């Protein structure tokens, strides 16, 4: 599994305060607290940070096997706004694998209520030497 080593060297996720809660083949669960510096001009969490949390869960899930994989694309649907101090949980689950491709669904929730639904397409790459 590549994910743990990858997360250890992932400066971005660490700086965002993202914590790994659970990891297994095809699945990952991470959390992040919304800080004052993640809030936008509408006084709600900037969509980029909700996306970043979901994207980290997705990256861990698609790297939970022996081949490195990267995000080819992703989409996110915002259901409810969140605010400074909220703790967000992102749950990534593999939906399909075919050839070098994978599809992963990530639900982002706060206190058990879904606030965003994310879907990402991954593609395996040749390992770095």
**What's the min distance (Å) between Cβ of 32 and a second copy?**
10
**What's the min distance (Å) between Cβ of 13 and a second copy?**
7
22 or 41: CB nearest a second copy: 41
Binding site for a second copy (CB under 8 A): 5-13, 15-16, 36-49, 51-53, 55-56, 59, 68, 70-81, 95-96, 98, 101, 103, 105, 114, 117, 119, 121
21 or 78: CB nearest a second copy: 78
**What's the min distance (Å) between Cβ of 65 and a second copy?**
15
109 φ/ψ angles, rounded to the nearest 5 degrees: -130, 160
Quick one: tokens of 33? 């607290």
**What's the min distance (Å) between Cβ of 5 and a second copy?**
7
21 or 72: CB nearest a second copy: 72
At 52, is the secondary structure helix, strand, or coil? helix
DSSP string, 18-49: -EEEEEETTEEEEEEEPPGGGB-TTSSB-HHH
State the CB neighbour count (10 A cutoff) for residue 7. 20
Token pair 């509408």 is at which residue? 42
């Amino acid at each position: 599994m590549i994910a743990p080593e990858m997360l250890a060297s992932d400066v971005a996720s660490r700086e965002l305060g993202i914590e790994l809660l659970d990891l297994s083949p095809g699945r990952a669960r991470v959390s992040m607290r919304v800080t004052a510096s993640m809030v936008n001009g509408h006084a709600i969490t900037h969509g980029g940070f909700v996306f970043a949390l979901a994207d980290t869960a997705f990256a861990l899930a698609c790297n939970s096997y022996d081949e490195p994989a990267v995000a080819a694309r992703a989409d996110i649907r915002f259901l409810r706004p969140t605010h400074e101090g909220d703790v967000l949980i992102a749950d990534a689950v593999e939906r399909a694998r075919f050839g070098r491709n994978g599809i992963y669904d990530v639900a982002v929730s706060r206190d058990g209520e879904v606030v965003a639904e994310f879907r990402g397409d991954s593609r395996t790459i040749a390992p770095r030497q």
